[in-house]
Structure 1
């Protein structure tokens, strides 16, 4: 029997969906997307245990159970009756209850911030018949963050967050089952021993999403030919890849990657936060090379790599939007590097192996974006582009771009598969 869930996606939902589809493909998980609106997706399928799933995904903020669609309440009294009934059914302790309400979907159809407060206070009074102590966690008219949910234990038996998805005529009410482990992400991002903001660093969440987007099972060897301080290797380790190779032409970067991955093993042992990477826990599955990417085919066996995940050099950092002339100079500078990288993919990937990599996308003064002209690159005939969003016809024109406000270089994400020798 299939289960129904509400997935609350990250700041860029298309990346979250691409990660989810890639993860499912690599692990032979079947599911359907029933509906998507903004950051909310209705998912149907037989999925892994939600907390286990949340440990592996980077682009999903919350996972909630989902009931059947219900007629949308027309006033506060109807909202109170409906949500009061749901909360009463999930109370497990007569001593205390902490609850929160988070509304998603079409905001014009959701109660206003003032109405949400009125609703919550009314529910609090009604629930005192069910539990001695009732506390409401307020989001001040906004959905509760994963930090608020975790800090108030609303995803445990000691509390309850109701996630309410509002659409035109119906609502879906769910109970939060798992949220992102924000402290673990922060620890790996900010407290790893080697960080160098001047050289630029791939965010751990993006590295995790890229590994999942590949759509491959964690078997064989994963290579990062521009490993930097080892972010991709760290996240791939946590997803269970048994053999990892990190290469970089900078000896300092390779040293930093070694230090960070060793720190990760020690941190994992103390936290007991993941259980996949037994082979890597004693460094047996980890290898490092000081090597330029174009030299790797001379140092590694041909057709020996199942997966490549990497962020190459993106060009000179920018403090403002570039001019047309600057972009043309950057394109001329980077085109040979990316051409060599594609040749490396062709030589090292096994048949049906995949590579995911980042292209710079420059934000122009008028807000438009430009990247490398892919048609001008020397594409090997063996490589074909892979789209993790292909199962969703309405998402096929979506570009996978990771960007933050006020950045002048965004990260465009591309996946290729080796389809012939």
Structure 2
């Protein structure tokens, strides 16, 4: 079986936890700081539904060196033969590097050396220039590096070895943009949940997926619906807002159930899901209703995936008194919600909640007090083999309010 290498997103711990959640820790291992090796049949890797991975690569080989000159020699030796196996047409070559001691200038020089070696076989080659050590997704798409005559190679340091992989698919940035900015109803006041993060939240909530349910879905783009109910589960978002989690869960093949304290938000979710389903037929049940998460009664819920109340959207460091007040307010609402829903869920039900954490200094966070009493209110926090709880934070360097992903099961 051919193993796959996934290039992880801006916050790699989230992507690693997502993969471990879906495929099991025994099938997933970190490669360097920004990639993962997944020992799963590539046809069971539903890449378009992974929010935390930006590129899907085929593992080619692992070299017993991290020396760039030796890596270059390997590349010059194998490239001419590989080029002869490609269909006719100009070969397009791109090189990306993670973790190796090499400069953009050196990568460019290696690319030119490889280009000369391939041209000696009579084949024309176009080298895609590096702006950084890695080519970005837009460059890969624009230069058709995943096409029949394209070849983006990754060289990823893993300890004293180098993993070599070929990119076969990249995130569909146009589809993500459409599903984010193209929706008819958006509200910056309640925060903008990126579709990629919504996918991660759903996948962390879903847990390990049975192989029979993953068969043949990897070729269905994320922007198109799975044509039948694959998972026969209902995903609840009890703080649905404008419906981003519901939208992504619907695309994954789940029934969806959304509630929100504000009727206006429920109307926004209705409008956005109507827009999403206007040109596709979805074999799914959609339930939307107003409801206060601290006392609402839901029915038939299998998985809970939600971004909870995040409190005030601070743009600068607040006074201590205001911060403490906000933390207390958020803690109370989320704790009441957890108490309320606990009795409505079967034992072992998984939840993934994006809850607030506050960056008080660079990379130092103030967390909700309830995190220390989860067992007392009937929940176990899921442990990951490859990722620590403190790494499950989604934020930008200059952001005060981060989203902390809380992955739980009911006791």
Query: Same fold, TM exceeding 0.5?
Result: yes
TM range (shorter): 0.7 to 0.9
2:377 counterpart of 1:386: no
The 8 Å contact of residues 323 and 364 in structure 1, kept in 2 or not, is answered as no
- Structure 1, 126-135 or 352-361: larger mean CA deviation: 126-135
Aligned to 2:293: 293
Q: Distance in 2 between matches of 1:361 and 1:142?
A: 32
2:254 counterpart of 1:245: no
2:315 counterpart of 1:322: no
Q: Distance in 2 between matches of 1:61 and 1:375?
A: 30
> Structure 1's 314 and 120: CA in aligned 2 closer, same or farther, altered over 3 A?
same
Find 1:185's aligned residue among 172, 176, 179.
176
The 8 Å contact of residues 19 and 28 in structure 2, kept in 1 or not, is answered as no
- Give the deviation of 1:381 after TM superposition: 4.7
2:100 counterpart of 1:107: yes
- Give the deviation of 1:313 after TM superposition: 1.5
> Structure 1's 154 and 348: CA in aligned 2 closer, same or farther, altered over 3 A?
same
> Structure 1's 293 and 72: CA in aligned 2 closer, same or farther, altered over 3 A?
same
Aligned to 1:312: 308
- Give the deviation of 1:380 after TM superposition: 5.6
Q: Distance in 2 between matches of 1:352 and 1:342?
A: 14
Q: Distance in 2 between matches of 1:322 and 1:371?
A: 15
Find 1:42's aligned residue among 32, 37, 45.
37
The 8 Å contact of residues 30 and 46 in structure 1, kept in 2 or not, is answered as no
> Structure 1's 358 and 126: CA in aligned 2 closer, same or farther, altered over 3 A?
same
Aligned to 2:90: 96
Mapping for residues 7-406 of structure 1, pairs under 5 Å: 7-25=6-24, 31-33=27-29, 35-48=30-43, 53-72=46-65, 74=67, 76=69, 78-91=70-83, 92-104=86-98, 106-108=99-101, 111-167=102-158, 169-214=160-205, 215=207, 217=209, 218-241=231-254, 243-266=255-278, 269=280, 278-280=282-284, 285-297=285-297, 300-301=298-299, 304-365=300-361, 368-374=364-370, 381-387=377-383, 389=384, 391-392=385-386, 395-396=387-388, 398-406=390-398
2:391 counterpart of 1:418: no
Give unpaired runs (5+ residues) of structure 1: 270-276
- Give the deviation of 1:173 after TM superposition: 1.6
> Structure 1's 266 and 41: CA in aligned 2 closer, same or farther, altered over 3 A?
same
- The number of aligned residues is 387
The 8 Å contact of residues 323 and 365 in structure 1, kept in 2 or not, is answered as no
The C-alpha deviation readout for 1:199-238, integer Å capped at 9, x for no partner, is 2121111111010012155332211111000000001111
- Give the deviation of 1:174 after TM superposition: 1.5
Q: Distance in 1 between matches of 2:363 and 2:390?
A: 18
SS in 2 for 1:66: strand
Q: Distance in 2 between matches of 1:371 and 1:75?
A: 43
- Give the deviation of 1:188 after TM superposition: 0.6
Q: Distance in 2 between matches of 1:46 and 1:64?
A: 13
> Structure 1's 377 and 80: CA in aligned 2 closer, same or farther, altered over 3 A?
closer
The 8 Å contact of residues 32 and 157 in structure 2, kept in 1 or not, is answered as no
> Structure 1's 44 and 216: CA in aligned 2 closer, same or farther, altered over 3 A?
closer
Give unpaired runs (5+ residues) of structure 2: 210-230
With the length of structure 1 as denominator, give the TM-score of the two structures: 0.85
The 8 Å contact of residues 224 and 310 in structure 1, kept in 2 or not, is answered as yes
Q: Distance in 2 between matches of 1:315 and 1:152?
A: 43
Q: Distance in 2 between matches of 1:56 and 1:376?
A: 32
